[in-house]
């Protein structure tokens, strides 16, 4: 790992001030992706700005919306009585990221800002129609995620919280890589009134995406059978040593049905 200067921010405003001044800075949330990446020298920031003391963690319900602070850990989301009651699929998703030790440190803000194409949270944000709050603005999930490991965030912009509208029903199922536990395919379905949203992670060559054909079919009837015969073109999907693009295309159909069946 290359050397860097460590800064600890006490507030979001303080973190922004350091970001603006420091040479080649990066924000440090839980570090569960960033630290391994720095060890491999795939990232070599000259400064790290630790957000652990910036007051960004916590979960609250505001009417029909669940608001989760950016530094809230996966374990906190998984074990939150508020999240379990309002969006059980989200609690379940958080409880299956990585392993227990990773969940004790990894955060929702870090996960969405990293936008790993096989991460779980991006699917939840897209399907639930979540809003990402930053120190500057509010962004709909679709505007926020901008392709592989890319987001709409500016250099001096910090995710502060994520707001999830409470759905009528939602379900998430992933087919994990047996070694890394990242999604080979993960599908999040959410139904709110008559509208259904389906988001797929792990498969798209451009990261998380919505599956419009499935959304239309499930909007007519919210049942796994409604997905019979809906094929997913393999053209824009990833193929690697774990699964070919065609296999992922097939898995999307299978996993989506299971997600609908699991929806609660």
Q: Which residues bind other proteins (CB under 8 A)?
A: 1-6, 8, 28, 31-32, 35-36, 38-39, 48, 50, 52, 75, 98-102, 104-105, 179, 181
Q: Which is nearer to other proteins, 5 or 136 (CB)?
A: 5
Q: Is 12 helix (H, G, I), strand (E, B) or coil?
A: helix
User: What does DSSP assign to residue 229?
Assistant: T
Q: Which is nearer to other proteins, 38 or 203 (CB)?
A: 38
Task: Give Cα 93 distance to the centre of its chain.
Answer: 10
Q: Which is nearer to other proteins, 109 or 253 (CB)?
A: 109
| Cα distance between residue 1 and residue 235, in whole Å | 37
| Cα distance between residue 177 and residue 219, in whole Å | 30
Instruction: Name the burial class of residue 24, with classes exposed (0-12), middle (13-18) and buried (19+) by CB atoms within 10 angstroms of its CB.
Output: exposed
Q: Which is nearer to other proteins, 104 or 258 (CB)?
A: 104
| Cα distance between residue 25 and residue 60, in whole Å | 31
- Of the candidates 37, 115, 111, 49, the one whose C-alpha atom is nearest the C-alpha of residue 74 is 111
CB of 218 to other proteins, least distance (A): 30
CB of 6 to other proteins, least distance (A): 4
User: What does DSSP assign to residue 43?
Assistant: -
CB of 25 to other proteins, least distance (A): 13
CB of 48 to other proteins, least distance (A): 7
Q: Which is nearer to other proteins, 101 or 195 (CB)?
A: 101
CB of 73 to other proteins, least distance (A): 9
Which secondary structure element, helix H or strand E, spans residue 69, and what is its range? strand 65-69
| Cα distance between residue 52 and residue 42, in whole Å | 23
CB 71 within 8 Å of CB 58:
no
CB of 258 to other proteins, least distance (A): 19
Q: How many Cβ atoms are within 10 Å of 104's Cβ, its own excluded?
A: 14
Q: Which is nearer to other proteins, 21 or 225 (CB)?
A: 21
Which secondary structure element, helix H or strand E, spans residue 120, and what is its range? none
CB of 4 to other proteins, least distance (A): 6
Q: Which is nearer to other proteins, 32 or 201 (CB)?
A: 32
């Amino acid at each position: 790992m290359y050397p860097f200067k460590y800064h600890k921010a006490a507030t979001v405003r303080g973190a922004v001030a350091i970001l603006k001044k420091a040479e080649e800075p990066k924000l440090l949330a839980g570090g569960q992706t960033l630290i391994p990446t720095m060890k491999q020298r795939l990232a070599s920031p000259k400064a790290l700005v630790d957000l652990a003391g910036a007051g960004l963690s916590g979960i609250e319900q505001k009417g029909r919306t669940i608001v989760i602070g950016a530094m809230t850990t996966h374990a906190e989301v998984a074990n939150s009585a508020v999240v379990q009651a309002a969006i059980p699929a989200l609690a379940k998703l958080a409880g299956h990221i990585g392993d227990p030790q990773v969940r004790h440190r990894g955060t929702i803000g870090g996960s969405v800002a990293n936008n790993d194409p096989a991460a779980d949270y991006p699917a939840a944000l897209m399907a639930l129609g979540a809003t990402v709050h930053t120190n500057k603005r509010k962004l709909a999930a679709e505007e926020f995620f901008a392709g592989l490991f890319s987001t709409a965030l500016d250099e001096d912009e910090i995710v502060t919280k994520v707001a999830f509208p409470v759905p009528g029903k939602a379900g998430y199922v992933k087919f994990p890589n047996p070694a890394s536990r990242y999604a080979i395919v993960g599908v999040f379905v959410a139904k709110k009134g008559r509208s259904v949203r389906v988001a797929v992670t792990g498969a798209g060559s451009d990261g998380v995406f919505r599956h419009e054909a499935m959304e239309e079919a499930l909007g007519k009837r919210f049942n796994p059978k409604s997905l019979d015969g809906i094929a997913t073109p393999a053209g824009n999907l990833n193929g690697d040593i774990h699964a070919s693009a065609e296999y992922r295309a097939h898995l999307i159909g299978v996993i989506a049905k299971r997600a609908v069946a699991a929806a609660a």
